[in-house]
């Protein structure tokens, strides 16, 4: 194993750093590169910027909320329309109608009887949509010269979507196929059973995609009623982030969306008979048992006790979650996965418009029981409730949450999504900034208090999946967000598509951006380095390639390249796996390796100030990896289970 990686590291590794930091501590060979590093070293490091900085909020006369933010790093813009409607707004008999309507908004309008995906493709836009509990959102990114056209298409389908019987019939088949695909997954079925028991009297207990008996029975009248009720400018937020001039853009938006009239609220209609299956009475402490063909056993546990997203306890709950489940140094990873008792464990706090939930999921290692794993999870929760957390755990959790937010909002689409979510779910586009300020003020006592208050074992709902027959089918899939899978269908004559494009799309002239070339140099040891500076975010991205991979494996050692890549970060001459994890996770940084056929990929992210730490850790694992036997065996077992 060690000889394998030594052989590979001798081959050049190309590294790209996208960063807002000085690189003076890198020592290139050529003079040009030295001049570059000296120049960068003299520049100040960008400081974290609040997401809401630079955002202009406008409310049109028709009630539409508009959020705009100029970011001129590239000639593109992200356009997103968020509606405050999701499965939370549904009733018995029409579960899943929010998701069905999301599909229908791609089917065409009165003036544009054409699949909207074709129009988005003609604009060069990567457009899609998703439905969740509280929201339905439509999003696309387009060249700035096509921004006007994309806005006009979104305004058109806001109130002019046909959604008739013919459109419903064709798209209902697609949704039913998606629903059946989820129903064939044991993880989805167990999650739905647990959620129904946890929320027997709430729409949060229903699957976002709906119950099949409801979805199959939708009528055009029901869909149109729901559309007229919820798809209106006074129930929506338009977010535009990217390259534009705010004043000019707002004039465009007022001209385009200001003409959209909120339709009169429709008269109530008779909904088809409720078809929600009654939840079986749940006895606390006794797991809901699902026994059928599947790949591996797993458990899911839900505490249906969390407050709404705007509650002041939410930051402390997220710190608690980070301590328990975030990264390899987290308590549950160390007590379950690192010990070889489980192959995976995760947790998450779902805070929404209405009271939400905290959940755990875990997969036991071969030969370990679900009951044993559940007992260990409960023991860790109890330990946190009785003994609290350390100062170092608190500091690390805060750093992780801060870094995760910054690293997750570096591109225009992610920023637009966060702003839309803040406005629709939390009621204020500035919510994230206030949230991060609150995270910084969380104390260890706060974490212990919320753990006691919200993780009440008497209110927990537990589910076990036990394979009756072991199959190769994967167990896990997302069950709470449904994303549109757009397929444009058979090719159409471009002239036919062009007939329905806004005039501005046909007149637009694309600007040719100036190519951004990275600085290049080679270190004395042969390492090729590329540096690309980006001051738009106080963060760095590190990408590299090693000429190695599964294609280098011999027949007798198939899988060696994969296992080698996985174990690079599991110990060096001076650090064990936990020490490496703490070095990175205490700063919210990431570093990982993945093997493909011809290469081992290197990926890492960190805040700008932590670039030296990330580089030093990368160099350490590449040169000094020791591949401890215990870590290697754990990786082997996880791979066999997967």
Same domain, 528 and 432: no
Answer whether residue 156 is part of any domain: yes
CA 78 to chain centre: 17
Identify the bridge partners of residue 347 per DSSP, sorted by sequence position. 360
Q: How far apart are CA 108 and CA 133, in angstroms?
A: 25
pTM: 0.88
Query: Which has the minimum average pLDDT: 70-84, 187-201, 489-503?
Result: 489-503
- Judged by phi (left if over 0) then psi (alpha if -120 to 50, else beta), residue 462 lies in beta
Whether 576 and 594 map to the same domain: the answer is: yes
What's the start-to-end Cα distance of the chain, in Å?
A: 22
- Band (pLDDT 50/70/90 cuts) for residue 554 is confident
pLDDT on residue 514: 73
Q: Give the DSSP H or E segment for 486.
A: none
Does residue 42 lie in a domain region?
yes
Boundary (domain end) residue, out of 437, 470, 503: 470
Q: Are 423 and 82 in contact (CB under 8 A)?
A: yes
Same domain for 38 and 95?
Answer: no
Q: Are residues 416 and 314 in the same domain?
A: yes
548: domain CATH number is 3.30.830.10
Based on the fold, state whether residues 200 and 349 are members of the same structural domain: no
Q: Give 546's strand partners.
A: 600
Count of domains in the chain? 3
**Nearest CA among 249, 91, 227 for reference residue 167:** 227
Are residues 68 and 7 part of one domain? no
Helices (H), 18-96: 31-41
- With respect to residue 513, please indicate whether it lies within any of the assigned structural domains: no
Cα separation, 329 vs 309, whole angstroms: 27
Q: How confident is the model at residue 473 (pLDDT cuts 50, 70, 90)?
A: low
Whether residue 288 lies inside any domain: the answer is no
Which has the closest alpha carbon to 304: 208, 205, 185, 220?
205
The pLDDT-based confidence of 483 (bands split at 50, 70, 90) is low
The answer to whether residues 263 and 226 touch, using CB atoms and an 8 Å cutoff, is: no
In a domain, 515, yes or no: no
572-621 pLDDT per residue, tens: 999 999 999 999 999 999 999 998 888 999 999 999 999 999 999 999 99
**Residues 202-217: tens digit of each pLDDT:** 999 999 999 999 999 9
Mean per-residue pLDDT, 437-465? 98
Q: Is the dihedral of CA 182, 188, 190, 195 positive or negative?
A: negative
**What is the reported pLDDT for 73?**
87
Are residues 263 and 319 located together in one domain of the fold? no
| Domain-embedded: residue 236 | yes
| Together in a domain, 65 and 31 | no
Distance, in Å, from the CA atom of 296 to the CA atom of 144, rounded to the nearest integer, reads: 48
Domain that holds residue 177: 55-274+481-488
Give backbone dihedrals phi and psi of 7, rounded to 5 degrees, phi first: -65, -40
Task: Give the closest residue to 188 by CA, choosing from 174, 171, 209, 203.
Answer: 209
- The answer to whether 308 and 427 are in contact (CB under 8 A) is no
Please tell me whether residues 222 and 265 are part of one structural domain: yes
* pLDDT, greater one: 47 or 179: 179
DSSP string for residues in 335-390: IIITTTSEEEEEEEEE--SS-EEEEEEEEEPTT--HHHHHHHHHHHHHHHHHH---
Helix (H) or strand (E) holding 175: helix 165-183
CA–CA gap between residue 248 and residue 243 (Å, rounded): 12
Q: What's the mean pLDDT when you consider all of the chain?
A: 88
Residue 310 sits in the same domain as residue 362: yes
For residues 40 and 61, state if they share a domain: no
- Rounded to whole angstroms, how far apart are CA atoms 571 and 287? 38
- The pLDDT assigned to 21 comes to 44
């Amino acid at each position: 194993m060690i000889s394998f990686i030594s052989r590979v590291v001798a081959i050049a590794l190309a590294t790209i750093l996208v960063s807002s930091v000085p690189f003076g501590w890198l020592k290139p060979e050529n003079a040009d590169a030295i001049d570059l590093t000296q120049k960068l070293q003299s520049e100040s490091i960008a400081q974290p910027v609040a997401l809401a900085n630079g955002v202009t909020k406008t409310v049109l006369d028709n009630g539409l909320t508009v959020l705009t933010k100029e970011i001129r790093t590239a000639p593109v813009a992200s356009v997103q329309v968020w509606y405050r409607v999701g499965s939370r707004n549904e009733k018995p008999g029409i579960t899943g109608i929010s998701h069905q309507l999301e599909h229908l908004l791609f089917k065409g309008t009165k003036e544009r009887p054409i699949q909207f995906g074709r129009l988005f493709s003609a604009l060069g836009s990567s457009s899609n949509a998703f439905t969740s509990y509280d929201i339905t959102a439509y999003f696309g990114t387009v060249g700035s010269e096509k921004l006007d056209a994309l806005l006009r298409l979104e305004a058109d389908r806001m109130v002019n979507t046909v959604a008739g019987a013919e459109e419903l019939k064709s798209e209902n088949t697609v949704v039913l196929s998606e629903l059946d695909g989820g129903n064939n997954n044991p993880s989805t079925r167990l999650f739905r059973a647990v959620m129904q028991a946890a929320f027997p009297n709430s729409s949060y207990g229903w699957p976002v995609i709906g119950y099949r008996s409801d979805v199959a029975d939708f009528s055009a009248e029901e869909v149109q009623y729901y559309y007229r009720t919820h798809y209106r400018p006074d129930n929506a937020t338009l977010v535009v982030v990217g390259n534009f001039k705010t004043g000019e853009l707002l004039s465009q938006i007022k001209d385009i969306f200001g003409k959209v009239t909120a339709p009169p609220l429709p008269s109530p209609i008779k909904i088809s008979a409720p078809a929600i299956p009654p939840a079986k009475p749940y006895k606390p402490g006794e797991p809901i048992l699902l026994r059928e063909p599947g790949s591996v056993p797993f458990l899911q546990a839900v505490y249906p006790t969390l407050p709404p997203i705007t509650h002041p306890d939410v930051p402390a709950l997220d710190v608690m979650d980070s301590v328990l489940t975030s990264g390899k140094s987290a308590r549950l990873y160390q007590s379950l996965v690192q010990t070889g008792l489980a192959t995976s464990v995760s947790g998450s706090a779902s805070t929404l418009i209405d009271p939400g939930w905290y959940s755990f999921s875990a997969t036991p290692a071969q030969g370990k029981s679900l009951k044993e794993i559940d007992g260990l999870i409960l023991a860790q929760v109890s330990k946190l409730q009785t003994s609290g957390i350390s100062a170092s755990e608190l500091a690390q959790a805060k750093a992780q949450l801060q870094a995760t937010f910054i690293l997750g909002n570096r591109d225009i689409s992610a920023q637009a999504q966060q702003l839309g979510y803040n406005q629709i779910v939390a009621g204020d586009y500035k919510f994230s900034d206030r949230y991060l300020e609150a995270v910084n003020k969380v104390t260890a006592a706060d974490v212990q208090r919320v753990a006691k208050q919200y993780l009440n074992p008497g209110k927990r709902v537990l589910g076990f999946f036990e394979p009756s027959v072991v199959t190769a089918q994967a167990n896990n899939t997302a069950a709470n967000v449904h994303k549109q899978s757009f397929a444009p269908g058979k090719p159409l004559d471009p002239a036919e598509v062009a007939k329905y494009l806004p005039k501005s799309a046909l007149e637009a002239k694309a600007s040719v951006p100036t190519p951004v070339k990275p600085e290049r140099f080679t270190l004395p040891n042969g390492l090729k380095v590329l540096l690309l500076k980006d001051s738009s975010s106080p963060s760095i991205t590190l990408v590299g390639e090693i000429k190695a991979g599964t294609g280098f494996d011999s027949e007798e050692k198939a899988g060696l390249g994969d296992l080698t890549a996985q174990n690079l970060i599991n110990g060096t001459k001076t650090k064990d796996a936990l020490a490496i994890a703490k070095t990175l996770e205490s700063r919210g940084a990431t570093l990982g390796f993945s093997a493909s056929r011809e290469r081992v990929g290197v990926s890492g992210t960190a805040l700008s100030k932590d670039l030296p730490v990330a580089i030093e850790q990368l160099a350490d694992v590449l040169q000094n990896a020791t591949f401890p036997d215990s870590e290697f065996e754990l990786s082997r077992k996880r791979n066999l289970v997967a």
